[in-house]
Structure 1
Amino acid sequence: MNDRRILIVGLAVAVLLLLGGAFLLTRGGADSDRFAQCRASVVAGGAGALGGPFELTSETGARVTDAQVFTKPSLLYFGYTFCPDVCPLDSARNAEAIDLLAERGIDAQPVFITVDPKRDTPEVVAEFTDNLHEDMLGLTGTVEEIDAVSKQWKNYYKVNDDGSDYYLVDHMTNTYLVLPEHGTVEFFHRDLTPEDLAQRVACFVNAS
């Protein structure tokens, strides 16, 4: 009789442990990636491995931190104002997506960080961003600061400075989605249309 009771109690405990483990596993999965239904990109170490704290110079000349920049959903792009084609096209696509999001009632902003601080002074960056979108925020800094912030987003770039005024800069063309309180949650390639980009961003914003 005692052996039978022990067996019954043991089985009951085992069932409870299995049910509890399944519950925790399911809850943990949801907590660990609440944006799983929106995600299409794979980042080594997870999307949380992208980004970090910084202090750069705004297009207004003021020094700003990442906390002051990312106060709303932001589409972050690394480029340079002397870029002959890719940067203006990508930045214009991002700006159009921001307007499409506004039509959905989502307040977001485009952010542009230069990878060419030698030529991209705050004044130059301001002229570039103002021509693309009134809410686009441009950031620059020292070479060391730009190097550091690029590495945080795993953004590759190479300045081909040949001594002329018209040198080019090789760089990646990803656009990163940064959400307040969540950090960088996704990145997008340049082949997305403004409509597709807005749709993808809206998914993340609504899930946050």
Structure 2
Amino acid sequence: MLASRRLLLSCKNGANQASNFLRRSGGPSKRIQSFNYSKSTRQSHGTPRVNPPLPIGGGGTQASSRSRVRYAIPALVLGFTGFISFLHYNDERRVVPKGQASSNSGCGCGSNTTVKGPIIGGPFTLVSTQNKIVTLNDFCGKWVLLYFGYSFSPDVGPEQLKMMSKAVDKLEAKHNQKIMPVFVTLDPQRDTPSHLHAYLKEFDSRILGLTGAASAMRQMAQEYRVYFKKVQEDGDDYLVDTSHNMYLLNPKMEVVRCFGVEYNPDELSQEVLKEVTSLPQ
């Protein structure tokens, strides 16, 4: 009898101590209640779940922001590096390193020859001022001075054509060197064969004018790396913003020099003469 009373008192004391401990530590009753609330929230589709309040001061938000910045910066660096690598690879596909053979001159005369640098140029099919089909092969064996412009150019275009004509005159009269002047329009919409014929005749009848479909002109400009862009003016009028490239092509139809608008006729003729006389006969 005495043993059973002691056992009963011991169980009551143990239960009281366990109850006090749970109240002090926020025991399983709270965890069970929180779990049931979360579960009921997920089951009720219309009632949003209530998250516990964040610590005062936003420490969690700052830590999350720092974490995102830490990963975002390397990602941006890698993305930019990849973009630059792509551009470099794409440009390398259009370039033949110095001293290596080239089989893409677009001409049958001496196509497998060493080149001095990047390939500029390529095959084309255009229409001349005499309404004849002209390709790159038609110029093989000749020195060609090739200028990209348009007949409605208000100032730079006419000056470049005058310089080309005078330089060709000097080379032929003083040095007995025949250079073929060629004008390629970047405005095929207005520069028809008949219009180009009348326009170029005012400068020099020896200048061969080339035009064609808009797609063919864009392709040739891309091959020769010529910049041009239509600039709309009042009404239907427009100008063409261009880099006014002028190239010297050797008899193998390789671009050997590029001349800018800063040259005058004397300088242009002297530079062309250097290239012509430097080529082994």
Partners of 1:163 and 1:47 in 2: CA distance: 43
Q: Which runs of 5+ in 2 are unaligned?
A: 1-97, 102-114
Structure number with the bigger relative contact order (C-alpha 8 A, sep ≥ 6) is 1
Normalised TM-score (structure 1):
0.75
CA contact (8 A) 1:48 1:183 kept: no
CA contact (8 A) 1:48 1:184 kept: no
Residues 1:171 and 2:242 aligned together: yes
RMSD between aligned residues: 2.2
Partners of 2:216 and 2:246 in 1: CA distance: 19
CA distances 1:180-205 after superposition (whole Å, capped 9, x unpaired): 11511110111111011000001111
Partners of 1:194 and 1:150 in 2: CA distance: 25
Q: Specify which of 191, 194, 201 is matched with residue 123 of structure 1.
A: 194
CA distances 1:80-139 after superposition (whole Å, capped 9, x unpaired): 001111101011101110001002100112110000000000011111211111210000
**Count of residues in correspondence between the two structures:** 168
Q: Specify which of 248, 257, 260 is matched with residue 186 of structure 1.
A: 257
CA contact (8 A) 1:122 1:139 kept: yes
CA contact (8 A) 2:136 2:253 kept: no
- Judged with a 3 Å threshold, the aligned counterparts in structure 2 of structure 1 residues 83 and 165 are, in CA distance, closer, same or farther, namely farther
Q: What are the residue-to-residue correspondences of 1:124-163 with 2, within 5 Å?
A: 124-161=195-232
Normalised TM-score (structure 2):
0.56
Partners of 2:276 and 2:244 in 1: CA distance: 22
**Percent identity for Structure 1 against Structure 2:** 33
CA distances 1:40-63 after superposition (whole Å, capped 9, x unpaired): xxxxx9555111110100011111
Secondary structure (helix, strand or coil) at the match of 1:168 reads strand
Letter in 1 for 2:243: M
- Judged with a 3 Å threshold, the aligned counterparts in structure 2 of structure 1 residues 71 and 165 are, in CA distance, closer, same or farther, namely farther
CA contact (8 A) 2:99 2:116 kept: no
CA contact (8 A) 1:113 1:138 kept: yes
- Judged with a 3 Å threshold, the aligned counterparts in structure 2 of structure 1 residues 30 and 117 are, in CA distance, closer, same or farther, namely closer
Match of 2:148 in 1: 78
Partners of 1:64 and 1:186 in 2: CA distance: 22
- Judged with a 3 Å threshold, the aligned counterparts in structure 2 of structure 1 residues 139 and 47 are, in CA distance, closer, same or farther, namely farther
Match of 1:55 in 2: 125
Structure whose CA Rg is larger: 2
Q: Which runs of 5+ in 1 are unaligned?
A: 1-28, 33-44
- Alpha-carbon offset, residue 165 of structure 1: 4.5
